[in-house]
Structure 1
Amino acid sequence: MSRSPARRRGVPRRPLAAALLSALALTTAAVPAEAQSVAAAATAYTPVPPHNPYAGPDGTATMHGDTGSSDTTLLAGPGTGTLSSERLALASACPTVLVGSDGYPVILCTPIFGQVPTVHLLDPDDGSSLATLKLTKGSLLGGVYAYLDNKDRLVVADGSRNLLRVAHSKNADGDWKLAIDQSLSLASVIPEGDAVTGLSPDWQGRVWFATGNGVVGTADDRTGTVRALTLPAGERVANSISTAPQGTAVTTTHATYLLTAGADGTPKISWRQAYDRGQARKPGLLSWGSGSTPTFFGPTTGTDYVGIVDNADTTVRLKVYRTSTGAEVCSVPVLRAAGGPGSENSPVGAGSSVFVAGTYGYPYPAVPDGAGDSVPASADFAGGLTRVDVRADGTGCTEVWDNTLRSAAVPKLSTADGTLHTVVRDPLIPGTKGTSLLDPYRYVQIDPETGTVKRSKQVGIGSLFDTLQMAGTIAPDGTYLQGTVTGVLRITAG
C-alpha cells in the first residue's frame, strides 16, 4: 500500500516549524482573520522543550509528546469539515499511543483478559492492527510509559526487568512484524518484586528509568552499563519521568527531584523539593501524592521551569520550580471552580503557560498495589481545567482562567493550530457530577486563551468509550488517536 509523501517524511523538526510560524507572522496581512488568529495562538505557546536527538518525532514520541513531558505537539489536529469518529476494538486498555517518523502508530495495550502487555503496529490509513507482540507481564503501571527512539523503535521495560527496543519491519512475504531488536537486563539494580514505572532518554543516549519503589537509574544498551541510586525509603514513583538538557525530573509520592549523571552514568541528585502530599490518596488518583509526571516548560529555552500539582487536602496547587536551582517560582491554587482537589494528569506546559486538568473522583476500575485506601472512599467526578501563566519577570504566577470542563483524558496542546485537544466525560443527567456506565464522551477542541470549547463531537456512549484519563496523540495527517479501556478512538475531519 502506498504512503503519502507527508507520511514518509513524518513529523517536522522544530527549526522547520519555527520557520513556518515566522513566515505566518510576516504574511498575516494577506491571510483571513481566522488564520491570523490561529497563527497568533500558535506563536503564543512557544517555545516548547527542545528535540531530544535520541527520541522519535516531537509530539508523538512519548505519551506526553516529548521527553520533557510538555503534552504539546507541532501537529495540527482534525481541521475544518465534519468531525467523525470510529472505535478500534482491541479488547484492551491502550494508554500509550505513539507515532514514528514513518507515520505508523505504535501502541502499547493491556488486554482485559490475561493483562499481558501487548504492542500493536497500526495501519495509519484505517487504524487496523498490522502486527502484535506480547511482552512479559509486570505491575499495573509497568510498561505503560514507553517511548519511541530515533529509529522508531518502542523502548519499554517488561515485567522481567529487561529494557527492550521493539522494532517493526516487513518480512519476506510483505507482512509486518514486531520483534525485539535489543534487550538489556536491569536486574542488577532493580530488586525482584520491583518494576520500572517510567523511562526516558537523556541527551547522551542513556535511558533513565525509575521504579515503583524509588530506584532511579541509567542504562546504556550500547555498552551494557547500568547504574542506579535509591531515593529515600518510603518514596514511591507512581508516574513517568521527564528529561531535558539540564537533567532528569522525577516526582515521587513525597518530592520532586532533578537528577544528573556522572561520566559513568551514576545518578546524582541536583535538588529536591518536597510538596504537600495530603493526609491520604484521594478518589480519582492512583497514588498518595502528586499525580503529575513533571513537566518541563519555559519562555526562553522551553525547559526553564519544572511544574507539578501537589496533593494538598483542601485545594491543590500548581508548583513551579526553576530547573537550574530548584527554587520555587510559585505555588498557585488550581481547580477551584470545579471544586475537586486533585489531578492524576501531567500538566500541559508551553512557553509561560501551564494547563491543569482535574481528575478528582474519576472512577478508575483498579489502582496499583500499595496505593492505599482513598479518603473519602469515593466522590463525584469534579473535573475542572485551569490555566496559569508564569509572570514575564519570573517572580510568580497568575491564574488566567478556571472552568468546570470534565476532561476524561490528558489534554494535548497543538502549537500548530493553537488548540487544546481532549475528550470530556459528560454526566448522564446534565448539571450533575455523578458518573455512570452510560455516560456520553465528546472529543472537544478548547481555546487555550479563554478555556471555552470551540468545537465538539460525541464519540460514544457507555463504558466501552471510557478514555480513563489517558493521553491522546495527533498523527501527521491530523487524525486524533485516543486510547480507551477497550481500544483506540480515531477522530478525523473531512
Structure 2
Amino acid sequence: MIGQAVVNLIGHHRAGSGWTLRIDQSTPLGDVVPAGDGIVGLTPAWDGRIWFATGDGTIGTVDTSTYGYPYPALPAGAPVSRPSSADFDGGLSRIDIDAEGTGCSVVWNSPVESAALPRLSLADGKICTVSVTGPTGSVGLNTFAQYHRSVIDPATGAQPGSSFPGIGLLFNPLQMRGTAAPDGALHQGTETGVVGISER
C-alpha cells in the first residue's frame, strides 16, 4: 500500500454473476522499511517480483505469487495453460463507470497493442505507452517485434502520434510502467535496462 510498509497483491475474482476484489497476498516490510517511512512507488519486474521504493530512499523487491512473464509462465501448483502458447493479441479500451457505480460502458476501442502499462499525462492530457507491432509470439517479442512510443487521445481513442525506438529484446518493456519527463520524453524500463524515447 502506498505510504505504508506493506505490499498487498490484489486479485479480481469471479463472485457468482459478478466480480470482487480481494487481497491475495500481503507482505509486511517492517523489517526493511524504518518506522515513519512508507512505500511511495511500486513497479512489477519481468520475473514476478515487485520493486518498491520508500520516501526516504529504501529500494527493494518482494517475491509474489503472480503468473510471471512471459506467457505461459505459472506459479507452483497451477494447472497447465490452455492454450500452451499465445500471440500477443488485442488493443486498448476506455470503459467508463456510471455515476452510481453499478454499471459501465465502453467508450472506445483502439487497435493499438500496448506492451507497457499505459499512463495518462496530466501535462498534455494524453495517454502514453509503448506499443508493439510485427511478430508477437513468445519468440517474436524478443526478436523481430517492433516497439513504438505511442500517444493516445483519451477522449476518442485516436492515435495522434508515434515514434519508433527499436526492435526486439532490447526494447521489450515487459508490461512495465514508464515515466514521462517534463519535456515529453518517455523513460521506459525494458528487459535489458532503461531507454529514453523522445517525442518527434
Task: Name the TM-score, length of structure 2 as normaliser.
Answer: 0.68
Q: CA separation in 1, counterparts of 2:189 and 2:146? A: 16
Pairing partner for 1:398 from 99, 105, 127: 105
Query: What corresponds to 2:185 in structure 1?
Result: 479
Residue 480 of structure 1 deviates from its aligned partner by 1.2
Question: Contact 1:55/1:150 (CA < 8 Å) preserved in 2?
Answer: yes
- SS in structure 2 at match of 1:453: coil
Residue 413 in structure 1 maps to residue 120 in structure 2 = yes
1:290-311 deviation per Cα after TM superposition (whole angstroms, max 9, x unaligned): xxxxxxxxxxxxxxxxxxxxxx
Change over 3 Å in CA distance of 1:413–1:376 after alignment to 2:
same
Pairing partner for 2:167 from 434, 457, 461: 461
Q: CA separation in 1, counterparts of 2:181 and 2:85? A: 36
Aligned pairs for 1:221-370 (under 5 A) are 237-238=65-66, 286=67, 364=70, 367=73, 369-370=75-76
Q: CA separation in 2, counterparts of 1:381 and 1:141? A: 19
Query: What corresponds to 1:145 in structure 2?
Result: 51
Change over 3 Å in CA distance of 1:63–1:475 after alignment to 2:
farther
Change over 3 Å in CA distance of 1:394–1:154 after alignment to 2:
same
Residue 400 of structure 1 deviates from its aligned partner by 0.8
Query: What corresponds to 2:130 in structure 1?
Result: 423
| Alignment RMSD (CA, Å) | 2.8
1:151-177 deviation per Cα after TM superposition (whole angstroms, max 9, x unaligned): 2x13424xxxxxxxxxxxxxxxxxxxx
Change over 3 Å in CA distance of 1:374–1:448 after alignment to 2:
same
Identity of aligned residues (%): 38
Q: CA separation in 2, counterparts of 1:414 and 1:445? A: 10
Question: Contact 1:382/1:404 (CA < 8 Å) preserved in 2?
Answer: no
Greater helix share, structure number: 1
Q: CA separation in 2, counterparts of 1:400 and 1:407? A: 18
Query: What corresponds to 1:451 in structure 2?
Result: 157
Query: What corresponds to 1:382 in structure 2?
Result: 89
Query: What corresponds to 2:144 in structure 1?
Result: 438
Pairing partner for 2:43 from 51, 58, 63: 63
Instruction: Return 5+ residue gaps in structure 2 as ranges.
Output: 1-36
1:382-407 deviation per Cα after TM superposition (whole angstroms, max 9, x unaligned): 13111111112323111111232211
Residue 464 of structure 1 deviates from its aligned partner by 2.0
Q: CA separation in 2, counterparts of 1:421 and 1:463? A: 21
Change over 3 Å in CA distance of 1:55–1:416 after alignment to 2:
farther
Question: Contact 2:163/2:199 (CA < 8 Å) preserved in 1?
Answer: no
1:244-282 deviation per Cα after TM superposition (whole angstroms, max 9, x unaligned): xxxxxxxxxxxxxxxxxxxxxxxxxxxxxxxxxxxxxxx
- SS in structure 1 at match of 2:155: coil
Q: CA separation in 2, counterparts of 1:472 and 1:154? A: 20
Q: CA separation in 2, counterparts of 1:364 and 1:372? A: 16
Q: Which residue identity does 1:150 align to in structure 2?
A: G
Change over 3 Å in CA distance of 1:453–1:490 after alignment to 2:
same
Q: Which residue identity does 1:156 align to in structure 2?
A: G
Q: Which residue identity does 1:409 align to in structure 2?
A: A
- SS in structure 2 at match of 1:464: helix
Change over 3 Å in CA distance of 1:374–1:368 after alignment to 2:
closer
Q: CA separation in 2, counterparts of 1:366 and 1:465? A: 20
1:203-228 deviation per Cα after TM superposition (whole angstroms, max 9, x unaligned): xxxxxxxxx4xxxxxxxxxxxxxxxx
Q: Which residue identity does 2:84 align to in structure 1?
A: A
Greater strand share, structure number: 2
Q: Which residue identity does 1:376 align to in structure 2?
A: P
Q: CA separation in 2, counterparts of 1:465 and 1:405? A: 17
Question: Contact 1:402/1:451 (CA < 8 Å) preserved in 2?
Answer: yes
Change over 3 Å in CA distance of 1:492–1:413 after alignment to 2:
same
Q: CA separation in 1, counterparts of 2:170 and 2:79? A: 27
Q: CA separation in 2, counterparts of 1:491 and 1:374? A: 35
Task: Name the TM-score, length of structure 1 as normaliser.
Answer: 0.29
